[in-house]
Structure 1
Amino acid sequence: MRNEQRFLTISIAATMVVAALGIVFGIVSGSFSIAFDGVYSLADAAMTGLALWVSSLIVRSAQSNEKAGRIRNRFTMGFWHLEPIVLLLNGCLLVTVAVYALINAVISIINGGHELFFGAAIVYSGATLVVCVVMASIGIALNRSLKSDFIALDIKAWIMSGGIAFALLVAFVIGLAVLPTPMAWIARYVDPVVLGLVCLVMIPLPIGTIWKALSEVLLIAPVDLQEHVDQVASETVERLGFLSYRAYVARVGRATEIELYFIVPQGLPAKTIEEWDALRDDIGERIGGESANRWLTIAFTADAEWAE
């Protein structure tokens, strides 16, 4: 978690630098696509900051000091549910920015394009491409062990930004090359055309993240987890002679939430608390995945209404 926070902090700083350069160079060069890249980076930095805040809340709540105790007393269910909300907001914001930029690109093309100072544009694109490659490489290497959704989304954002920078660099070099030729009229359309193409590529990219986050916000049961829990519960019912069971599962951020209710026959011979606890331990081991991120509840009742 602390490595995650360090990377996100560095990522925010780098993104803010790229955003500031994008806005400044966009104004100097007259490039809508560079200005869009700066605004896109600014929005990404804001969302990464929100992700860092959620990550820090999770870390602080796990500590053993008095402040952490007060946090746990106020948020007894933890903070895992904030992760998919942040990811959903992030994905929707990036798609919205890209759609707006695409509309502006189409309007600019219809109006005949505009002049562009290619020298400043090329300098910005090259510098931004280097920063994006470095940050994406660091994130990929770090996330091989952390498996963080926040870092994964941030890596995707850096790759997307790097793709934008590379496309801009190629387009601006081509635009500069055609200026002394009879095809110089093309140069006026380079900026809006490349902006439109970049937006068309970018808009679908966060869709997978949006759908995954939305399914977690809506507590849609993951098929693989549901099938595994159903198998363990069915075997337990058959092995111990229970009547049936009810299983409720969900993945919310890093947390796996499982509630299992076993319907036992009325008049079942009494067991000690220790025996019931041992049975819960056995079922929990069969389900697997025990960690601080697993929320497992196992209950036994003769009244099926308690399980509904």
Structure 2
Amino acid sequence: MNGKAKFFDPGDERGILRISIAVTLVMSSLGIGFGLISGSFSITFDGVYSLVDASMSLLSLVVVNLITSFTLAKGLSRKLRERFSMGFWHLEPMVLGLNGTLLIGVAVYALVNAVSSLLEGGRDLEFGWAIIYAVFTLIACTTTAIVEARANRKLGSEFIRLDVKSWVMSAGITAALLIAFCIGFGVQGTTWQWISPYIDPAVLAVVCLLIIPLPVSTVRQALADIFLVTPADLKAHVDVVAQAFVKKHGLVSHRAYVARVGRSKEIELFFIVPADAPARRIDEWDALRDEIGDAIGGEGPDRWLTVVFTGDPEWAE
């Protein structure tokens, strides 16, 4: 029991991702199965969408394991550590960008198919089966999203944040499907029955239009991390701290190079020391490094800080 509880630990980033993968695989199987039984392309899309999300969650779990193993200095082979001596933080924005791009691609493809179906006169489906699926899926998606969102208040994981967004998107899709299926079931045997073939593709088109923009911000941030775009807020903070340090210790100037790659903060600081500055012992230089590190803050396994003192400005350029 303890092993299982640890494997699906809701207080751990990897445990949350494992829970998400397990639930997603179940929902994906149900979605594809119910979609084939009911004849609903929107339900089939929901299942395929979940399957793509599960594969990305699995990839995210692999990356989290690599990052955690590297930062904690355990569970990682010496050969792998030597080949990736700078860590695995760079994989995080790659996975996030790929995840968001795939979700957008799947939604665009479904939108094209929905429009094509509308132009061809729609499709008939079994609304009873569709309603049963929608109710069950809506409960599962909402519950999972709430559990993950509460857990991520402490964890602060970008992977989980994107996963929560994905579950909210899935819940929104399912809620729209449920409303549409109930309307379709209600018009059976009435003068409005002619609209029932259009309900499935129409609601799918609307849902796709709503969810396509949602992962865009994640993809944009991932690209910024991949291309090492300097985060303005972090750069400003480092400059303020470094300028105060220069003034306090009578240094000439400083150069700061800052990047945010996934969860990591990579900071390189070069301080230009006066040519006539008195000599210092190694432990004194280390004490200065500790001082600037404490002033910058955020010390932890995901902060990569390099502090260099030099009398030659060319070394800092």
Q: TM-score range, shorter-chain basis? A: over 0.9
Alignment of 1:122-161 (within 5 A): 122-161=131-170
TM-score of the aligned structures, taking structure 1 as reference length: 0.96
Change over 3 Å in CA distance of 1:67–1:202 after alignment to 2: closer
Unpaired segments ≥5 residues, structure 2? 1-8
Is 1:292 equivalent to 2:301 in the alignment? yes
1:209 pairs with 2:218: yes
Deviations 1:87-129 (A, max 9, x none): 0000000001001111111111111111111111111111111
CA contact (8 A) 2:72 2:301 kept: no
Which 4+ runs in 1 deviate beyond 4 A? 62-68
Deviation of 1:240 (Å): 2.3
Matched residue, 1:239? 248
Supply the distance in 2 between the matched residues of 1:291 and 1:146 (Cα, whole angstroms): 14
1:223-238 pair list within 5 angstroms: 223-238=232-247
Q: How does 1:43-62 map to 2 (within 5 A)?
A: 43-62=52-71
Equivalent AA in structure 2 for residue 112 of structure 1: G
Partner of 1:16: 25
Matched positions, count: 308
Q: Percent identity?
A: 55
Match of 2:171 in 1: 162
2:286 is the counterpart of 1:277: yes
**Shift of the alpha carbon at 1:243?**
2.0
Separation (CA, whole Å) in 2 of partners of 1:135 and 1:66: 29
Q: Which residue of 1 aligns with 2:274?
A: 265
Residues 249 and 258 of structure 1 are in contact (CA less than 8 Å); yes or no, is this contact kept in structure 2?
yes
2:208 pairs with 1:219: no
User: Closer, same or farther in 2 for the Cα pair 1:200/1:268, shift >3 Å?
Assistant: same
* Separation of aligned partners in 2, 1:251 and 1:65: 24
Distance 1:197 1:28 in 2: 23
Equivalent-residue separation in structure 1 for 2:74 and 2:258 (angstroms): 32
Question: CA deviation digits over 1:272-300, x for unaligned, max 9?
Answer: 11111111111111111111111100101
Answer whether contact 2:71 2:301 (CA < 8 A) is retained: no
Counterpart residue identity of residue 166, structure 1: A
Which piece of structure 1 moves more, 2-11 or 96-105? Answer: 2-11
Structure 2: distance between partners of 1:279 and 1:103: 61
Decide whether the 8 Å contact of 1:280 with 1:298 is kept in 2.
Answer: yes
Structure-2-length-normalised TM-score: 0.93
**In structure 2, C-alpha distance between the alignment counterparts of 1:53 and 1:5, rounded to whole Å:** 9
Q: Which residue of 2 aligns with 1:6?
A: 15
Contact 1:61-1:68 within 8 A present in 2 as well: no
2: CA distance, partners of 1:59 / 1:291: 12
Q: How do residues 60-75 of structure 1 correspond to structure 2 at under 5 angstroms? A: 60-63=69-72, 67-75=76-84
Q: Is the 8 A contact 1:61 1:71 kept in 2?
A: no
Which residues of structure 1 form unaligned runs of 5+? none
Q: Within the alignment, does 1:121 sit opposite 2:130 as a pair?
A: yes
Report which stretch shifted further, 18-27 or 189-198: 18-27
Q: Which secondary structure state, in structure 1, belongs to the residue aligned with residue 255 of structure 2?
A: strand
1:27 pairs with 2:36? yes
Equivalent-residue separation in structure 2 for 1:55 and 1:67 (angstroms): 13
